[in-house]
Structure 1
Amino acid sequence: MEKVSYYTEEGLQRLKGELTQLKSEGRAKVAEQLSEARDKGDLSENAEYDAAKEAQEILERRIAKLEELMINARVINKDNINTSAVSILSKVKIKNKKLGKVSTYTMVSEEEADLKEGKISIESPIGKGLLGKKAGEVAIVEAPAGKIEFEILDISF
């Protein structure tokens, strides 16, 4: 059994939407590709058929993964979150002590992470380093380039 994953309501709805789309449109598209490839004759030397079968396998693996995520998914109740320390759904303003760069990130589940949107995973090195820290504290994050110190300037929701 997979571990429980926590999501925002929006994040969980996005995953459910993807699952629905893959089960309907995705499967229909792959079935059409398989049918077209079969119509071309000998399957033993049919590259289109092989490609369609591979696409089907990838699609079915993604569907299975999403279904498993749904079973173990929990929506986060913001009322139950400790607002004094960094936790999932926290909006954290941090300062890289070496570079002086200030950034703001929202802490989210791994599946919701999107750096372009300012969302980092609680499973990422930075996320793990920030979890549980309070405003004013310094988080030391082990990164491939070495240790990085981040000062937590503010925590909000």
Structure 2
Amino acid sequence: MGSDYILTPEGREKLEQELHYLETEKRAEVGERIKVAREFGDISENSEYDDAKNEQGMVEARIAEINQILSEATIVDTPKKSNKVTVGAIVTVNMGGKERVFTIVGGAEADVAAGKISNESPVGAALLGHKKDDEVTAIGPTGREIKMTILKIEH
């Protein structure tokens, strides 16, 4: 992923909340674990200390990652009056006879299980710029065509 992160205002808020939690509660909690583990004596064979240090490393890495995303992200405000699919839109499609609902988001926010697909994913990229009733074809990861008809676009 390049340095061009795209976030919706909700996505930015979620990251800011996670960052706040990590920088305050989680950092203190891990620091406390390290302090307690040190009191167990010999650090060299203290798995509790190692675990706490590893977790501290992961917490710090995630804090750095969120800070980077937030500093480089382009925040996209969802246009309220658009009849086209844009980042931030909630799109209902007919995909092989099944109704599927996707929210188009930037790559940093993508969460397929929650129906949030990246604007860079095959389906997300294919839907961008299309209108209701458009027939859209995406090429899936396996190389096969995914045909969809846009039923509804909400912003």
Runs of 4+ in 1 over 4 A off after TM superposition: none
Normalised TM-score (structure 2): 0.85
Percent of matched pairs sharing the same residue: 37
SS in 2 for 1:78: coil
Query: Partner letter of residue 125 of structure 1?
Result: P
Aligned twin of 1:56: 56
Aligned twin of 2:72: 72
Aligned twin of 1:114: 111
2:85 maps to 1:86: yes
1:61-86 deviation line (CA, Å, top 9, x unaligned) = 0000000011012322334x882432
Deviation at 1:94, TM superposition (A): 1.0
1:118-153 deviation line (CA, Å, top 9, x unaligned) = 322213232122223333132223233732211223
Q: CA RMSD in A?
A: 2.3
- Is residue 78–residue 86 contact of structure 2 (8 Å, CA) maintained in 1? no
Normalised TM-score (structure 1): 0.85
Provide the aligned length of Structure 1 versus Structure 2.
Answer: 154
Aligned twin of 2:149: 151
C-alpha distance in structure 1 between counterparts of 2:64 and 2:27, whole Å:
13
Q: Pick closer, same or farther for the CA change 1:124–1:140 going to 2, 3 Å.
A: closer
C-alpha distance in structure 2 between counterparts of 1:49 and 1:64, whole Å:
22
Q: Pick closer, same or farther for the CA change 1:133–1:139 going to 2, 3 Å.
A: farther
| 1:140 paired residue among 134, 138, 145 | 138
Query: Partner letter of residue 129 of structure 1?
Result: A
SS in 1 for 2:67: helix
C-alpha distance in structure 2 between counterparts of 1:56 and 1:66, whole Å:
15
SS in 1 for 2:86: coil
Structure 1 regions of 5+ residues with no counterpart? Answer: none
2:99 maps to 1:102: yes
SS in 1 for 2:140: strand
C-alpha distance in structure 1 between counterparts of 2:123 and 2:81, whole Å:
19
2:21 maps to 1:21: yes
Q: Pick closer, same or farther for the CA change 1:82–1:127 going to 2, 3 Å.
A: farther
C-alpha distance in structure 1 between counterparts of 2:127 and 2:81, whole Å:
14
